[in-house]
Amino acid sequence: MSHPSSTPPFTQRPSKYQYQSGFGNTFESEAIKGSLPYGQNTPQNCPYGLYAEQLSGNAFTVPRATQQRSWLYRIRPSVVHTPLVPFTQPTLMTSNYDTINPNQLRWKPFPIAEKEHDFIDGMITIAGAGHPSVRHGIAVHIYTATKSMGDKSFYNSDGDFLIVPQQGTLDIQTEFGFLEVHSGEICVIQRGIVFSVNVSGPSRGYILEIFGSHFRLPDLGPIGANGLANPRDFLSPVAAFEERECNHVKINKFGGKLFTSTQTNSPYNVVAWHGNYCPYKYDLNLFCAVNSVTFDHMDPSIFTVLTAPTNEPGVAAADFVIFPPRWMVQENTFRPPYYHRNCMSEFMGLIRGVYEAKKEGFLPGGGSLHSFMTPHGPDADTFNAAIKSEQKPTKIPDVALAFMFESSLILGISEYANKNYIDDDYWKCWQQCNSHFQPPKQ
């Protein structure tokens, strides 16, 4: 997929997709040698006549260990645009998720409309809690797309996007460089970062949006130094720029609403940058699952890839959890996820294959929501098969990949999601959980 370019330094790169490795690292990257100033971030005259611009991901005065910011050296500053005005096109992206429903909910796969639409046009809000105006809460979205955004970009003032492609590859151009994100990978684009999504065919996936803290790796505790997602496997882009005059439309999400402005140049004119506030991607195949090898079933928190903590220790506004291919070897133990009620909201999606606790009805591109203290667990068929199964090592198939957006917040449902593609028969999958009770004879 080609991207327009008018400057020789841009075309000198051997490959469009180049990455830097590490999670939370302070990187430095320049598309033209010598374009990064040294010794001070805002010299009187930046190299090559560039503008210095800081992008801050949090307050200036947070502890140094949690400070996130980057310096961008660009051909024109990002302030060069027309005034933002309300976005008037119809959209299903919303901050209104007022429908409260404690039932177990499941959605059939969300269809990809035949009418041409891009990543922003195809965004649908499913559920959420809180509001971006108070910097606390989350939202769950589905996206579909059949065409690239072209000379249209998006930036989110409300929160960070964790994007989970289910079908199709996303070619994402950001101010920091390019990300190619396949199904089976994820990417995170933090608040304020401008990006455009290009696709080469029908695409669909899931988005977790967080309004407060940023995502970070979970602490490993007794696991030790290794396991789960390794920092070195996270990839951030290297600097890539274009100096191009065009009629560019920029869309901004602010306070739960969309606004738009225009400008006469490409926003992707960052020649160099340094800092630790930048987008990144991760291949879920690299996750090192930790599981029981003796007995019992570990809590699903052991499969957390990324977490967005609250101020309460151990409690997350959002966790991104996966259920990847892995060996099940524990003895004398019910191996599928156990029946449970808990103080978390669990939105699950399926990227590919079959989920181990729901053999039927839970399909790629669909989803389910199990809310606070609402009981849930494997369907009756899965239970009956599991209690009769031979206790030998079993491999969760390589094609299986499910995930969960888990939150300590009570999620409401959007009006659209409450009326469309709901599996009205979902509750029936547990009705054949009959009594197996055999009391001792008197």
Residues annotated catalytic, as ranges: 297, 340, 346, 370, 376
8 Å CB contact between 193 and 176: yes
The CA distance from 200 to 430, in Å, is 40
Q: Please spell the DSSP secondary structure of 91-150, one letter per residue.
A: -B--S---B---S-EEEPPPP--SS---TTTTEEEEEEEEEGGGTEEEEEEEEEESS---
Distances, alpha carbon 59 to alpha carbons 213, 313, 315, in Å: 11, 21, 22
Distances, alpha carbon 205 to alpha carbons 182, 183, 365, in Å: 11, 8, 7
The CA distance from 217 to 310, in Å, is 14
The CA distance from 337 to 52, in Å, is 51
The CA distance from 28 to 9, in Å, is 17
The CA distance from 59 to 24, in Å, is 17
The CA distance from 421 to 108, in Å, is 5
The CA distance from 176 to 217, in Å, is 22
* Composition of the chain by helix, strand, coil, percent to 5: 10, 35, 50
Residue 168: burial class (beta carbons within 10 Å; 0-12, 13-18, 19+) = buried
